[in-house]
Structures are given as structure tokens and as C-alpha cells.
Chain A
Amino acid sequence: MSKLSFRDLFKHETLEREETSFVPPLDEELLMESHLVQGQLFRGLELDDRLADAAMATILFISLTCTSCIDLLSDLAEFGARHEGLLLVVSSGSNEDNEELVRYYDYSFPVLTMQERAYKARFELEATPAAIMLEHGRVMKQFTILDIGHLYDQSAVRKGGD
């Protein structure tokens, strides 16, 4: 019998789901930069046609297996309503889960589907939940969200009651 490896314990589909969904960065030059450069063009403008021109846009990255992301979800509808500009959420959930999420919380913004590993690599995110803020398609700020209050503070969106 040939020598088994750990890879042999996994179904092909399990590993393939992760590996084929990995989307490499589009711009090789940008890939060379290991740190965020404020003002650089956002690498995911194709996520939504409006991103390139929007005066202000916020993209949130969540994972449905991350508890601090789940904790955030119930507060995002209000955040979305108060947020001026374009808001997108990129989620590691399946299309069906993400559609259910939008229905359950009555989100007014779209929830897009992308594997966690793919968006972390592509946008150089260290952890979830994370936010990237753009102005006219350029990155102004990028951070890991500690909680909903932190998100409000960083995005200068006024909370209810303030």
C-alpha cells in the first residue's frame, strides 16, 4: 500500500471547495505591496459597478462561522440605514444563507458571497469582521471591527440617540 498522507483523509470536494474558490488578486503589482497604501485603488471594484464612482462606500467582510461577525449582524440593518453612501457586505456564507440573512434582517444593502480565504488573501484582511472604506474607489481605511460601536466610530456614522 502506498504511503497515505493527511490529504487522503479529505474528500476531494472538501478541499476543492476551498481551493477552486480562491480568487487571486487581479493586479500583480498591487500584490507586491504588503501593506495598505491609503489612496490605492480598491482591488475589488468589480464587486459592484457603483464602487468606482461612489463618493463614499463601505465594504464589510464577515464569516458565518465567526461569532463576533454573527454578533454584528443584528445591528447592521440600522447601520445600513444610517450609512451615507454605498454599503456592501461580503459574506463567507452560501448564496442561500446570504439570501436568508438579507430576508431575516431586512437589509437594505446587498450581501455578496465569497470564501473567507479568498477575500482575506485578496484584500489582505487579518481577521473578520473587517471593513474597508472607499472614496471614489480608493481605499481610505481598512480595519478589523471590534464591535458595532467601533464600526460607527470608524465610519463617522451617527448612532441612534447620539
Chain B
Amino acid sequence: MNQIEKVMPSFLQVEEGLQIGDYMPNIRIPNNDDMELYDCITDYLLLATISTSCAPCLPAMEAINIFIQQYPGINFLLFIDTEESTFEKAKHIFHHSAQIYHASDDLLFGELKTRGYPWGYGLNAEGQIITIEHAGSLEYLEKLVSPFKRFLDSKEES
């Protein structure tokens, strides 16, 4: 039998992602060489990854922008994969309180193990992953933040 050796298509090669209970890698914050992810952790840290190459990231950005205003002072980092010029625009569009960072696809998929955009993690004070959610809507963002609510000020409650 003329068996041709098959090469697994790249889209089938799924790297095992980070799971709840894992410790998030302490990545260097892009464009802030002296700052690492764990420097940003307070009692908790939420982080989300989005890309302008992904259409569902448009409603995700809108939801995240509302979300951070609903919880003033929330410790939420947003990593965006996009072109430099687009990132500059994004800084003007997001609410001034947004903590947004320009990140490469390699960093987001390779190091933060994003499994698809938009993606979100909730970390405890030790950097351990407590929640993992699709970050595409307010409903999902509420799930992401749910274990950390006691640390937050909410506009709705005030």
C-alpha cells in the first residue's frame, strides 16, 4: 500500500492551554521592560486579550470599555494584538482609566496561552488562575470578575 505520511494540519495542533488552578506565567509587560505581570497583581488581577483581526473583538472592546467604567479602579489589564498605529488610536477610544498594552500574537498565544480571541483570565493575589472566560460580552466579564467582587467598587451599588 502506498501510504503517504500525513502531516497534521496546523489548525488541528491545539496547544494545551492554561487551566484553572495553574499559575499564570510572569510575563514582561510589553513596552514596559522593567515591569512584570506579577507587579500588577493586587488582591487579584483580571486580564483579557483581544485582536483587531477578529470580528467578535469589536463587541468585546465595547463591553470591556463599559465594564471598566462600571467598576472604577478595577485592576484589569487589556492586551491588544494590532498594528502600532491602530494601537495608538485605541488608546484614545478606550476610557482613560483603561490599562491597555500593545502585545504580539506570539505573546498572547505563546505565553498567555490564549485559546482564541477575546479571552480573559482572573488571577488571585498569588497569580493563580481562578476564572477563565470568553471575554466577549458584559455577561461573560461578570463571570470573570465574580470571585473578586468583594475587592471592587461598583458604580451600580453606590
Residues on the B chain within 8 Å of A70, using CB:
11-12, 14
- Does B6 reach chain A (CB closer than 8 Å)? yes
Q: Please state if B6 and A9 are interface contacts (CB–CB under 8 Å).
A: no
Q: Please state if A9 and B52 are interface contacts (CB–CB under 8 Å).
A: yes
- Does A14 reach chain B (CB closer than 8 Å)? yes
Q: Please state if B9 and A97 are interface contacts (CB–CB under 8 Å).
A: yes
Residues on the A chain within 8 Å of B55, using CB:
10, 14-15, 17-19
- Contact A5-B8, Cβ < 8 Å, known A14-B53, A15-B58: no
Q: How large is the interface on B (under 10, 10 to 19, 20 to 34, 35 or more residues)?
A: 20 to 34
Q: Please state if B58 and A104 are interface contacts (CB–CB under 8 Å).
A: no
CA distance A67 to B13 in the complex (A): 10
Offer 8 A-B interface pairs, CB within 8 angstroms, sorted by A.
Answer: A4-B93, A6-B61, A9-B89, A9-B93, A17-B55, A64-B11, A65-B116, A93-B11
Give the interface of A toward B (CB within 8 A): 4-11, 14-15, 17-19, 64-67, 70-71, 73, 93, 97, 100-101, 103-104
**3 closest pairs, A vs B, by CB?**
A18-B55, A65-B116, A6-B61
Give the interface of B toward A (CB within 8 A): 6, 8-9, 11-12, 14, 17, 52-58, 61-62, 65, 82, 86, 89-90, 92-93, 115-116
